[in-house]
Structure 1
Amino acid sequence: MKREVCITLSLACLTFGAEAASLEVVIDGIESPPSTVYVALCQGGLAENSCRSGQDALASAGSRRFIFEGIEPGTYAVVAYQDLNGNGRLDRTGLGLPLEPYGVSRGVGRRSRPDFASASFTLSEVGTALRVRLARGLSTR
């Protein structure tokens, strides 16, 4: 019985030993007119099913700050886009190229398709702050 209690307590310490972290994400390059900016925190990949934690907010030209709290320490990437036409998604061409302003952590994806390995960063227990710059998609606006 004593051994079971020790094992249970040891497992509990392992489970709760790492404190949840916070992540501050500043999105730069937001265009006028005011529209919704979407930001997602991804783990393991950049596909939608890997980006389970997200936020959105109405934003106008300039920058907007987003705070993610209670995030387990680990390796993540951030993706963001500005929904200029209000349809709730990042519009793309038939080839999959973005038509609206978008950005990925660590500035990847400007010259080639972004990948998780290039965009990822380590979120520690004390938290992290980073900036993501939106770049214009292929829109002719």
Structure 2
Amino acid sequence: MRRFFATGLALILGLGLGPARAATVEVVVDGIEPGAGTVYVALCQGGLSEAECRNGQDVPATGRSQRVVLTGIEPGAYAVAAYQDLNGNRRLDRTGLGLPLEPYGFSGEMGRARPDFARARFVLREPGIALRVRLTRALPPR
């Protein structure tokens, strides 16, 4: 009986049935055009393409700055991508050359061009991280 109990306890400890590891990412998005559309914030893993930026949240663009909190995120390496959907079509509109027509931004360094994942990346550990993303325009508004 004692051997069964010891084996069962070892199995439970080995399975890691302790508390789940999760963290919070708080993003303050600056540079919003108030009252125009929705602001989308996404966590990206491994790259900055749409396919790699699936976990996110959207908020109404009610002020020049908005706070978005993503919870229950596994610790790891991420980047944040954000954009303001001015016309409500739920996507970042682009020119024929691929330049964004709506305000956009990334975590990390921001220049005129989209950074690569390595420059936008941060390491998320428990309990979480707070960061800022500033939206900018590649082209002046029409």
Q: How would you bin the TM-score normalised by the shorter chain?
A: 0.7 to 0.9
Report the alpha carbon displacement of residue 139 of structure 1 after superposing the two structures with TM: 4.1
Aligned residue in 2 for 1:67: 69
User: In 1, Cα distance between the equivalents of 2:76 and 2:19?
Assistant: 14
Quote the offset at 1:18 in angstroms. Answer: 6.0
Alignment match of 2:13 (pick from 2, 9, 17): 9
Aligned length: 138
Compare 68-77 and 2-11 and name the one that shifted more: 2-11
Question: Which amino acid in structure 1 is aligned with residue 34 of structure 2?
Answer: S
Shift of 1:87: 1.1
CA distance in 2, matches of 1:136, 1:112: 10
Q: How big is each residue's C-alpha offset from its partner over 1:27-68, in whole Å with a ceiling of 9 and x where there is no partner?
A: 000013432000001111111111121111111341000001
Are 2:36 and 1:34 equivalent residues in the alignment? yes
Structure with higher Rg: it is 2
Give TM-score scaled by structure 2 length.
0.86
Q: Which runs of 5+ in 1 are unaligned?
A: none
Separation (CA, whole Å) in 1 of partners of 2:55 and 2:102: 21
**Identical pairs, percent:** 61
Match of 1:122 in 2: 123
1:86 is matched with 88
Instruction: Structure 2 unaligned segments of length 5 or more: list them.
Output: none
Task: Give 3-state SS (helix, strand or coil) of 1:26's partner.
Answer: strand
Matched, 1:107 2:109: yes
1:117 shift after superposition: 0.9
Q: Distance in 2 between matches of 1:6 and 1:50?
A: 37
The two structures, once aligned, show a CA RMSD in angstroms of: 1.9
